[in-house]
Amino acid sequence: MKTLIVGGVRSGKSRYAEQLATSHEGPINVIVTATAGDEEMAARIAAHRARRPSHWRVREEPTALGQALLEVARPDSVVIVDCLTLWLTNIMMQSDHDLLERESDALLAAVQSAPGLVILVSNDVGSGIIPVNDLARRFADVTGSLHQRLARACDRVVWMMAGLPLTVKPPSGASNA
């Protein structure tokens, strides 16, 4: 089962992903993409670390996400990837202009072939106003395109709003209730 969880900032995406993970048996792996570039981000990272159980395996991977996913996924495991928008930021800040396409393709292929339960967490950045500058518009476009590709590849897509999960793509055979 592959699940994409999308929502706004502080919508409850990570907590919901953690709840899904703990409802399944087997080892839980978390691949985190955030880097602590300032004090506020360091505090966010610390809060996430403090919330996770100590027996969860955590891997930090800011760019090579597809490879990391394939390395940790097992048929009996759960992998949470948190978060795709920070990962996109990390990639877009690199000087290698082909890196985005290569790593996006690698992630999509990894999601499609990874065994076990995979839970992807990402921010929706396209529901607001059109950004003023070119980089922000490109980021919103890239994020939207990635979400569409992943939504097609995932079994389930959940939209988080105000801490409430709304299933927008239920698994085959399941109702949307």
**Average pLDDT by stretches of 10, the chain with 177 residues:** 95 95 94 88 84 91 97 97 96 92 97 97 87 90 96 98 96 68
Residue 20 forms part of a structural domain: yes
Q: Which two tokens stand for residue 36?
A: 């602590």
| pLDDT for the residue numbered 176 | 55
Cis before 154 (ω within 30): no
| Per-position b or e across 56-91, b if 16+ CB within 10 A of its CB | eeeeebbbbbbebbbebbeeebbbbbbbbbbbbbbb
Domain of 148? 2-169
What CATH number did the domain enclosing 142 receive?
3.40.50.300
| pLDDT for the residue numbered 175 | 60
Dmax over CA atoms of the chain, in Å, equals: 46
Q: How far is CA 130 from CA 25, 56, 85, 136, in A?
A: 42, 39, 17, 9
Residue 65 forms part of a structural domain: yes
Number of H helices, E strands in the chain: 6, 7
How many domains is the chain partitioned into structurally?
A: 1
**What residues act catalytically?**
48
pTM, full prediction: 0.92
